[in-house]
Structure 1
């Protein structure tokens, strides 16, 4: 049984940040640090130690899992982009386009699957992909999903502003970026967002049992460091008001985090 306490999580993430090279992903880490912390905290204590992370690039959360003591494998559309990092971490990363390819690992290979900020990028409806992940888990294994919340207050306020100002919901620069995407580059943009009810319904359809539903606020916290108050007071106050509002109304927070379980009696995973 593995319990990751908050103090341990802080140390894990501090170690990951310290290892980022100067030309690495420091801004990305700062933006996603609270998401990483919430994912680690949500892993059930009886989840076992064999984990699969789907969509590993750029590898920062992969490093956190390794430092937390998990035996990690990964999948990605472009595993070659961080080949040296995977070698250094001792993490096997195989290519997998979830929409079009069979899984690169056999059934019942993992105790735990991390599927974070990926489901909103899939081009096809995700139920089949979720059912495939169920098969990759051992009986009793866990699937952790995080994804942006369709009901995020900031997004709803933006829609309201677009209506009042007679603007399109999708701004021209966003549309042009999407229209120029080719082949697998389309996975760099969101296909759609989901509500908590929709995600939980799809998990049920895929044969998984939802054990925990969490409304997370990692994006609201970004930019609320006290050092920024004097430099950008109006922006800081706006962010603080948004964070306060979503603290009071959890379903309006920025992230959905769901823990689901494959039914059955747990046994050790076998993998080839």
Structure 2
């Protein structure tokens, strides 16, 4: 895995090399990520809404898109060409081959009401560049809806204390806590909200005790699997 890590961290790598890395992971089912968790899925649908022109950055094969695209006009971008083919085949939606780490988004200023940016930031060398571009293509008052893994949840902290690695995905180049995520977003967005979702207090699967939405925020932030966030683009970030 160390060789993979260093290839990803090489700032001189080409777009095609990045694409090949994710295409190989996709071929092994590494990114067939399911949003089947009802809490997470329903939260996304609620936050995204209907009647919008939407850009999904990191659309993959439409794993999340399938739940919200009806009633919206959706365009996707991804660095994985095979995933984009599946995105079009599966949902009939327009997709663009873009590496947001090294390229600008191929859209004009203020084209979108909403940008969906789910499970992407942790994969980027330069998330600030991507966030700046997202601000540019959002309409005034437009919204960002996204998520990152809650890397410092209690289960991962316990693994670390016992000398076990808690980050096993070689494509994750950075880790976010609630505080780190808010700080990253605050440079580009206002009205930031972060929702800790999914995961378990004890156990896992159907027999585990889930992170209930009625629990105090600090408890959910400590145990939740993901951090779903929203923000409104700052004026002047063009």
Q: What's the CA shift string for 1:46-71, capped at 9, x where partnerless?
A: x751011111112121121223x111
Structure 1 segments unaligned to the other structure (5+ residues): 1-23, 179-188, 226-235, 265-272
User: Offset at 1:247?
Assistant: 4.3
Where 1:256 maps in the other structure, the secondary structure is: strand
Structure showing the higher helix proportion among its residues: 1
The 4+ residue runs of structure 1 with deviation greater than 4 A are 30-34
Please say which structure displays the higher CA radius of gyration: 1
How far, CA to CA, are the matches of 2:204 and 2:177 in structure 1?
A: 25
Q: State how many pairs are aligned.
A: 201
User: What are the within-5 Å matches in structure 2 for residues 1-272 of structure 1?
Assistant: 28-29=33-34, 34-43=39-48, 48-67=51-70, 69-83=71-85, 85-87=87-89, 89-124=91-126, 126-162=127-163, 169=165, 174=168, 178=170, 189-206=171-188, 208-216=189-197, 218-220=198-200, 224-225=205-206, 236=207, 239-240=208-209, 243=211, 247=215, 249-252=219-222, 253-263=224-234
| Preserved contact between residue 65 and residue 72 of structure 1 (Cα < 8 Å) | no
TM-score normalised by structure 2 residue count: 0.72
Structure 2 spans left out of the alignment, 5+ residues: 1-28
More strand by share: 2
Q: What is the TM-score normalised by the length of structure 1?
A: 0.64
Task: Identify if the C-alpha distance between structure 1 residues 28 and 135 changes in structure 2 by more than 3 Å, giving closer, same or farther.
Answer: closer
Determine the C-alpha separation between the residues in 1 that align with 2:90 and 2:146: 27
